C-alpha cells in the first residue's frame, strides 16, 4: 500500500444533490463507476453528498441524518471501490457518539478497505452555513493516506481557505490534496459579489498547489437548494490544479460532470526542485503562528 511512485488518474465527481438520500448515494455510486470506466484510479465526491446542504438552518432533528463510520454509506462506497479497483474519498456526516457529530472524509482503498478518516478542522458559522451547530471540530489533526495508487490528503470545504491546513497536509507527503466542498452563492448577492467570490475560491486553492508543490482537487456540488432567505446556488466549478497552479480540468457551473485527469509525481518533484519553497522555509522563525493574533505593541 502506498509508496509507489508513478502516475495515476484522479476523478472529481461534481453532482447535484436531491432531497432523497438513497437516490444521492445511488447516483454517486453510478458516477464513481463512470469515473472508473474513464480510467480513474482515485475518485473524490463532494462534501456531504448524501443530502442537500442541511446547514442552512438549525434543526435538532437533522442529527438523525448522521451515521457511524463504518456504516451504511461508507460500506456502499467501499463496495464500489472494491468492484472498480479504485480508491474513493467520500464526505459523510459522522455520528461518533450521542451529541458528538463530525463532518468527516473517509478514504477507501481499491480493495474496499477503510484506510482512514479526516474530520473537518475548520468549522464555519455564516448566514446559511450554520455548521458550528452540527459539527464538532476535528480532533485527528491533518492527515494523509496511502492508497494503492498514491498518497492523498483530505481537507474539507472551509479548510480550503487556510494555508496552514494545506501546508501541514502537504508536509506529510501528499501527492494530491482533495477538498470535498459545498459552496455557493446567496442569490441576492450573486450579481454584485458572485464573480469575485468564485474567483477567490479558485485562486486560494491554486495558491495552495503552488506554495506546496502539490496537486489540488476541489470537488463542489451544483444546483439551488433551500428556500430560507433565498437558499443557496452552488456554483460547481470543480477543478484539478497541478503543482504549478495550472488548471488541468475544470467543470462548469450547472451540470453534473466527472472530471478525470492525471497526477504525475515526477512533475511534483520537478516543480519543487525549481521552486524549493519547502527547502527554504524558516522553521526557526514560525513559532508565533500558533498565536491567535500578534499585536504590534506587544
Distance between CA atoms of 12 and 178, rounded to whole angstroms?
A: 9
Is 75 a known active-site residue?
A: no
Query: Has 228 been annotated as catalytic?
Result: no
Phi-psi region of 11 (alpha: psi -120 to 50; beta: other; left: phi over 0): beta
Secondary structure (3-state) at 166:
helix
Q: Which of 29, 47, 94, 175 is catalytic?
A: 47
CA-nearest of 166, 159, 207, 164 to 183 is 159
Domain regions of the chain by residue span: 8-290
Average pLDDT over residues 183-197: 96
pLDDT for the residue numbered 298 = 62
The stretch 277-292 carries a mean pLDDT of: 96
| pLDDT tens sequence across 155-184 | 999 999 999 999 999 999 999 999 999 999
Res. 297 pLDDT band, cuts 50 70 90: confident
Q: How many other CB atoms are there within 10 angstroms of residue 250's CB atom?
A: 18
Q: Which of 44, 120, 148, 225 is catalytic?
A: 120
Residue 227: its pLDDT value, please? 87
pLDDT digits (tens, 9 = 90+) for 211-263: 999 999 999 999 999 988 899 999 999 999 999 999 999 999 999 999 999 99
Q: Which CATH superfamily is domain 8-290 in?
A: Carbon-nitrogen hydrolase (3.60.110.10)
Could you tell me the sign of the dihedral formed by the alpha carbons of 159, 160, 162, 166, in that order? positive
Say whether 47 is catalytic. yes
| Given the residues 157, 175, 225, 250, the one annotated as active site | 157
Give the pairing type, strands 125-126 and 257-263: unpaired
Alpha-carbon gap, residue 12 to 146, rounded angstroms: 18
C-alpha cell at 160: 480550503
Amino acid at each position: 500500500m502506498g509508496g509507489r511512485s508513478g502516475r495515476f488518474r484522479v476523478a472529481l465527481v461534481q453532482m447535484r444533490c436531491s432531497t432523497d438520500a438513497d437516490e444521492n448515494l445511488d447516483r454517486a455510486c453510478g458516477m464513481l463507476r463512470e469515473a472508473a470506466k474513464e480510467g480513474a484510479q482515485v475518485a473524490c465526491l463532494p462534501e456531504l453528498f448524501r443530502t442537500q446542504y442541511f446547514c442552512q438552518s438549525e434543526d435538532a432533528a437533522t442529527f438523525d441524518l448522521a451515521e457511524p463510520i463504518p456504516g451504511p454509506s461508507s460500506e456502499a462506497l467501499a463496495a464500489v471501490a472494491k468492484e472498480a479497483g479504485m480508491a474513493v474519498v467520500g464526505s459523510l456526516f459522522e455520528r461518533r457518539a450521542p451529541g458528538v457529530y463530525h463532518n468527516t472524509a473517509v478514504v477507501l482503498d481499491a480493495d474496499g478497505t477503510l484506510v482512514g478518516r479526516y474530520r473537518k478542522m475548520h468549522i464555519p458559522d455564516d448566514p446559511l452555513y450554520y455548521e458550528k451547530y452540527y459539527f464538532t471540530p476535528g480532533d485527528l489533526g491533518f492527515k494523509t493516506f496511502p492508497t494503492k495508487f498514491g498518497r492523498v490528503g483530505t481537507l474539507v470545504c472551509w479548510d480550503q481557505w487556510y494555508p496552514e491546513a494545506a501546508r501541514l497536509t502537504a508536509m506529510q507527503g501528499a501527492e494530491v490534496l482533495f477538498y470535498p466542498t459545498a459552496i455557493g452563492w446567496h442569490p441576492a448577492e450573486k450579481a454584485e459579489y458572485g464573480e469575485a467570490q468564485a474567483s477567490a475560491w479558485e485562486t486560494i486553492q491554486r495558491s495552495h498547489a503552488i506554495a506546496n508543490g502539490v496537486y489540488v482537487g476541489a470537488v463542489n456540488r451544483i444546483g439551488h437548494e433551500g428556500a430560507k432567505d433565498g437558499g443557496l446556488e452552488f456554483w460547481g466549478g470543480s477543478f484539478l490544479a497541478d503543482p504549478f497552479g495550472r488548471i488541468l480540468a475544470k467543470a462548469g457551473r450547472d451540470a453534473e460532470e466527472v472530471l478525470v485527469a492525471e497526477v504525475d509525481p515526477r512533475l511534483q518533484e520537478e516543480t519543487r526542485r525549481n521552486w524549493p519553497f519547502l527547502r527554504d522555509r524558516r522553521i526557526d522563525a514560525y513559532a508565533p503562528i500558533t498565536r491567535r493574533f500578534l499585536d504590534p505593541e506587544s
